[in-house]
Amino acid sequence: MPAERTSSGDPTHTLRLLWRDSSPPASGSRRGPRRGLSIDAVVEAATAIADAEDLEAVTMRRVAKELGVVPMTLYTYVPGKAELLDLMLDAAYARMPRTDTTGQPWRRRVTAIAEENKALFERHPWAAAVSTVRPPLGPGLMAKCEHELSGLDGLGLSDVEMDDCLTHLLTFVQASARAAAATRAAQQDSALNEQQWWELNAPLLARVLDENAYPTAVRVGAAAGAAHNSAYDPAHAYAFGLERVLDSLAALLDAGAKAKTSPSAQT
């Protein structure tokens, strides 16, 4: 299970922060942030820490230190880390480049969406590890969704199918980003790249592995290892997987087109 998830804080307070709603809350309290900082500054400092180290390094105390203030000062801007995470992710969404694919074939449009999200996770690796089953409904996310759903509009899909297809695509990209991050972490921890690791362990495997007991696994594993110089190549896995996602979307579009032109659909 992911260590962090969005929308785990106070939803009302979080939405007010995401949309920078400065109107007084229903309770009538008008306590506001001290002058000298801004929510954006807090978010930028927290994001810089997460980018450089990881999300676990982001604490209210650490962010306050980076900003040169005492920790209690931050609580006048953001209630806690849960709300701060939502703000960080929404800010990252808002900064995403949005490729203009107007008039291009649907495969290029969908590929652009995948590449934009892949770039997001490469810039902010921590974002791939965050569960967004309850997404932060801020302006960054809404602009992201509008852009991405527009790439699927006009293809003959129902609104529910558009949402399903986008979810399927983004889930694949996020999973690929997590796998790539795990590969990088393994290389850093062992101080060996994938090829070096396998070369180091090959003599032991040759002694203990009975090729006659696992003929298919050994044959396929050897072929894949020779092709990718490792048991797993994140770049190849992403490229191969994206093509299969596009193929599945093509099958859905084709089935929908056939259903609309079938004799039963015309009666």
pLDDT tens for each residue of 183-199: 888 888 888 887 787 77
Q: Are residues 65 and 21 in the same domain?
A: yes
What mean pLDDT comes out for the span 57-79? 96
Q: What is the CATH number of the domain that holds 245?
A: 1.10.357.10
Last residue of a domain, one of 51, 71, 94: 94
Are residue 41 and residue 69 in the same domain, yes or no?
yes
| Per-residue CA distances from 216 to 207, 212, 219, 221, 223 (Å) | 18, 9, 5, 8, 11
Lowest-confidence segment of 118-122, 131-135, 172-176, 185-189 by average pLDDT:
185-189
Q: Is residue 260 part of a domain?
A: no
Alpha helix stretches (DSSP H) within the chain: 11-18, 39-52, 60-67, 71-74, 81-95, 106-123, 125-128, 139-150, 159-190, 194-208, 215-228, 234-261, 263-266
My answer on whether 78 and 132 are in the same domain is no
Mean per-residue pLDDT over the chain, rounded: 91
pTM attached to this predicted model: 0.89
Lowest mean pLDDT among 145-159, 181-195, 242-256: 181-195
Same domain? 107 vs 61: no
Q: How many domains does the chain have?
A: 2
Mapping DSSP to helix (H, G, I), strand (E, B) and coil, where does residue 130 land? strand
pLDDT of 112 higher than 50: yes
What is the mean pLDDT of the segment spanning 170-189? 93
Percentage of the chain surpassing pLDDT 70?
A: 93
Q: At what angle do helices 234-261 and 106-123 cross, to 10 degrees?
A: 150
220 and 190 part of one domain: yes
Q: What does the alpha-carbon distance between residue 182 and residue 175 come to, in Å, rounded to a whole number?
A: 11
pLDDT band for position 206 (cuts 50, 70, 90): confident
pLDDT at 60 over 80: yes
Q: Are 201 and 243 found together in one domain?
A: yes
Are residues 223 and 123 part of one domain?
Answer: yes
Amino acid in the structure at residue 77: Y
Q: What's the pLDDT tens digit per position in 80-104?
A: 999 999 999 999 999 999 999 999 9
- pLDDT at site 16: 95
28 pLDDT above the threshold of 50: no
pLDDT confidence tier of residue 264, bands split at 50, 70 and 90: low
Structural domain includes residue 74? yes
210 or 251, which is more confident? 251
**Distances from the Cα of 19 to the Cα of 39, 87, 153, angstroms:** 11, 10, 27
Q: Residue 263: inside a domain, yes or no?
A: no
List the domain range (segments joined by +) for residue 40.
4-94
pLDDT at position 131 is 95
